[in-house]
Amino acid sequence: MTLSDAVLMTASVDDPLAFGEVFDRYVRLVRRYAARRLGEDRADDATAETFRIAFERRATFDAGRGDVRSWLLGIATNVIRNYSREEDRRMRALGHFDVDAGDVGVEVEHAFFAAPEVGAALAALEPGDRDVLVLVAWEDMTYQQVADALDIPLGTVRSRLHRARQLLRASLGAHLDEEDVHG
């Protein structure tokens, strides 16, 4: 029987070694998230920092306020804030990297060509708005999970996302119009 994340977190308070299992379950996910936002060079640093903080604060984890994944990505988001300069650079250089999409076809090709503009638009967002947008769009988190991760009210998640989308629409208008041509 595999122990649930919540059980492991609870056990890790008295038995720190139990946290090793939590690490093994989520390290790749956290690192992927960090790499998307900061690039490969800084991803390891941010991931190690995230788990160091998580280990220190494991006693404060409350299963009633979200799952372990959200909790870890919330910590990672705060850690990534410390690398804001690196993230801005990474976002602006987005066009130089391959985009990672589940589907193939016209949309992916379109996204590939739109990536530099998307990156520049993401870099121009307020950090809080960008956190919400990225967690929803890249990490496929629900609004509630984002609220849990960032420890903000659900309404704040909605308003930040709305604001981010408005700004993106203004920046990417041409590409969105182009979609109509493709569509």
Partner 1 sequence: MDELDLVRLSRPSTVESDDERIATIKARALPAMATNHQRVGQLDVGVISAADDAAVVELASSLMPRRRPRARVVAIAATIVLLVVGGVALSRRHPSDGGTSPINGAAADSSPASVSAVPTLAQLDGETFDIAALTVGTEDRTLVTTAGRPLTIRINGSVVRVDTGCNNGGGDAARIENGHLVIKEWSTTLVACGGALRAQEDAMRALLTSKPAISLRDDELTLAAASSTLLARRHSPDSPTTSLSATTIGPVQPASPPPPTTVPIDPGAPLTVPTMAQLEGHRFDRPSRRRWFRSCDRQRHHRQAA
Which residues bind to partner 1, rule: CB under 8 A? Answer: 1-3, 8, 11, 13-21, 23-24, 27-28, 31-32, 35-36, 40, 43-44, 47-52, 55-56, 58-60, 94, 97-101, 103, 107-108, 110-112, 114-115, 118-119, 122, 133-134, 136-138, 165, 168-169, 172, 175-176, 179, 183
Instruction: Rank residues 114 and 147 by Cβ distance to partner 1 and give the closer one.
Output: 114
Question: What is the Cα–Cα distance from 129 to 19, expressed in whole angstroms?
Answer: 31
Q: Are 50 and 34 in contact (CB under 8 A)?
A: yes
Instruction: Rank residues 85 and 103 by Cβ distance to partner 1 and give the closer one.
Output: 103
Question: What is the Cα–Cα distance from 89 to 83, expressed in whole angstroms?
Answer: 10
Count of CB atoms within 10 A of residue 31's CB? 19
Listed residue (64, 62, 75) closest to 23, CA to CA: 75
Q: Smallest distance from the beta carbon of 13 to partner 1, in angstroms?
A: 6
Q: Smallest distance from the beta carbon of 98 to partner 1, in angstroms?
A: 5
Q: Smallest distance from the beta carbon of 180 to partner 1, in angstroms?
A: 9
Q: Which residue has the tokens 């984890």?
A: 61
